[in-house]
Structure 1
Amino acid sequence: MTDIHNNQVIEYFRNKADAYDRTDEQVYWRLSDELLWEALTRYVLPSVHEGAKVLDAGGGTGRWSDRLLRHRKDMTGVLFDLSPDMTRHASAKAGEHGYADRLQVLHGDLGELNAQVEEEQFDLAISFHNVLGFVDDVPSVLRQIEAVLKPGGQLVLVIPNRYHAIFYNIFAGNLDEAENATHQRRGRFTADMPAMNLFTPTELTGTLNEIGLPVTFFTGYPVAVYPGFEETQLDGDSKTVRQSLSDDEAYRRIKNLELRLLGEPGLAERGNNLFVVARKPQ
């Protein structure tokens, strides 16, 4: 990552770090998180062996390291992230929830991961939400993650969907950003965030195959409910989402619809997020 881009990302997350986990309070992101956890428990965790070690690449405040290590007390992990403002919350969670002895927190640029992390030591690597969006050289970062996976290890990515970025920006009236997403495969959802890489299933599958991480599973989520502007902020619910999801019975029924659709590969392009699992050959 260039120094300028690096500093932009650090500053962006410095301003959000203390309130970042408040997204748990937003009904849309609660649904999104429940779907992600379901995808992990369906398609990933059953094949993760006892005593496995996980790399949380760009793990930030440790929202998903926390969930994994509390769910699987046999697992250990390393959280690697650029922002010390974010990771101090991850360290606090580890102490509060009793797994500080099972989680190591490291700071650094993912573009230099192999300089800090030994090769072939992880059984599972996760990198969720906009992490790969903010790196300069996606194939290089993926190669470095491949190098630290053991043979048979899995990589799980949650990444921004280029097609959703186009859709979102058109309906938000941000036609410049919709055009950037279309022509440059980069864009933003808010004016204050750095421009980031955007992905499609076909492009990402090709990249992962080229570096030796064949894709074993690909889907998208949520596919039936989309966020509005308020969901790009750290609190607040947009009118459409609030009308759709604030009623408990409606939330239950929509969640059940999403769970029924979760895992259908043909729906990946409709997802707000792309969910991909790849495995390093034995």
Structure 2
Amino acid sequence: MMKNVAFNQLAHSRTYFEAKAAAYDENARGAYGRLTDALLSEALDLSVFSRLPDRFTFLDVGGGTGRWTERIATMHPQSSGVLLDVSPGMVRHAEKRARRRGYAHRVSHIRGDADEAGELLAGMTFDLIINTHHLLGFFHSPELVLGALVPFLSDHGLMVSFLPSRWHAAFGDLSVGDAERARRSLSGLSWEASEAPYGHLFTPGEVRMLHTSSKLAVDLLTGFPCLIYPDPLGAAPPSTRSAEERLRDETFFREVLAMETELLIDPDAGSRGANLFVVASRIQQSEG
């Protein structure tokens, strides 16, 4: 049977992520990546883990080398889960990480495409389904991908997504003086200013409609970082220090992190965020 055409980005994505796996470097994300990770950790602690039972089950979709699976499994030692990723190289890194950190007996690592989830995960349900690597941004029809994951969510489970912002993409395009590329970004098409093979970009309003169509209620929708942005790809050398350079100063980093953390619970932060963060749950049917 022919695979769903909604997943036509996967061939490009597989090549891209295999190349990243071959040159994998744990420290390559830099100071700005460290800031984003710290804010994502804060957001998860504030809005997700406190709502889960001690022995929760999780699915890390597009989990890559297992950075977030490691955090979940080590911080919540009674949890168990599955990491699913399209790249064999990424999965190998994730398995090595699990063995090294001592949680391999609680986490299964599966190599597979998103459209194979129904077969690969048959019979499973999860209290938490998380995608922290812009998974839905790699598809032209993200509503079909999200809809395919919902059946694996437990009745009171949480669906957590981290998404590329359409407005921030256009900002990055204009930062390098490319108005035509900004217009394409605003249409939701692939973000050419990024090396990643994005197929879709999101606005906060679209995120809400996307989840409603999958019978999910949005419990939290915010965005971050929203006070400092990464240096645009292709930008001319700035006359002042770059964001990456400034964030390498530990005092400055901590000050920015504190300010950004205060904005995490503000739903309006999504309009400024370089990334969108959404926590959703099943729409509960009323009785009677």
Question: Does TM-score exceed 0.5, indicating one fold?
Answer: yes
Matched, 1:222 2:225: yes
Identify the structure with the greater helix proportion: 1
Change (3 A) 1:275 1:107: same
Pick closer, same or farther for the CA change 1:230–1:163 going to 2, 3 Å: closer
Q: How many residues align?
A: 276
Say whether residues 1:160 and 2:159 are aligned partners.
no
Q: Does 1:110 align with 2:80?
A: no
Q: 1:14 to 1:120 in 2, by over 3 A?
A: closer
- Residue 4 of structure 1 deviates from its aligned partner by 6.0
Structure 2 residue 264 is matched with structure 1 residue 244: no
For residue 178 of structure 1, report the CA deviation from its aligned partner: 1.3
Contact map agreement 1:133 1:159 (CA 8 A) in 2: yes
Q: Is the 8 A contact 1:129 1:160 kept in 2?
A: no
Look up the match of 2:46: 42
Tell me if the contact between 1:219 and 1:268 (Cα under 8 Å) persists in the aligned partners.
yes
Contact 1:54–1:77, Cα closer than 8 Å, also in 2: yes
- 2:237 aligned residue: none
Letter paired with 2:46:
R
Give the deviation of 1:175 after TM superposition. 3.4
CA distance in 1, matches of 2:10, 2:86: 8
2:204 to 191, 201, 225: 201
State the AA in 1 paired with 2:248: S
Report % sequence identity: 34
Aligned ranges for residues 71-150 of structure 1 at < 5 Å?
71-119=75-123, 121-150=125-154
* Structure 1 residue 157, shift from structure 2 partner: 0.4
| SS of residue paired to 2:252 | helix
Give the 3 Å change call, closer, same or farther, for CA 277–105 of structure 1 in structure 2: same
The one-letter code sitting in structure 1 at the alignment partner of 2:224 is: Y
Alpha-carbon distance between aligned partners in 1 of 2:214 and 2:251, rounded to the nearest angstrom: 45
Match of 2:267 in 1: 265
TM-score by length of 2: 0.89
> Which position in structure 1 is the counterpart of 2:279?
277
Alpha-carbon distance in structure 1 between the residues aligned to 2:188 and 2:283:
32
RMSD across aligned C-alpha pairs, in angstroms?
Answer: 2.2
Give the Cα–Cα distance (whole angstroms) in 2 for the partners of residues 159 and 97 of structure 1: 28
Q: Which runs of 5+ in 1 are unaligned?
A: 232-237
Return 213-222 or 128-137, whichever deviates more: 128-137
Amino acid at match of 1:244: R
Q: Comparing 97-106 with 113-122, which one deviates more in the overlay?
A: 113-122
CA distance in 2, matches of 1:149, 1:223: 30
Contact residue 111 and residue 135 of structure 1 kept, 8 A? no
Question: TM-score, normalised on structure 1?
Answer: 0.91
Give the match's secondary structure for 1:56. strand
Q: Which structure 2 residue ranges, 5 or more long, are not aligned? A: 235-239
Q: Deviations over 1:196-219 (max 9, x none)?
A: 210111111111012111100110
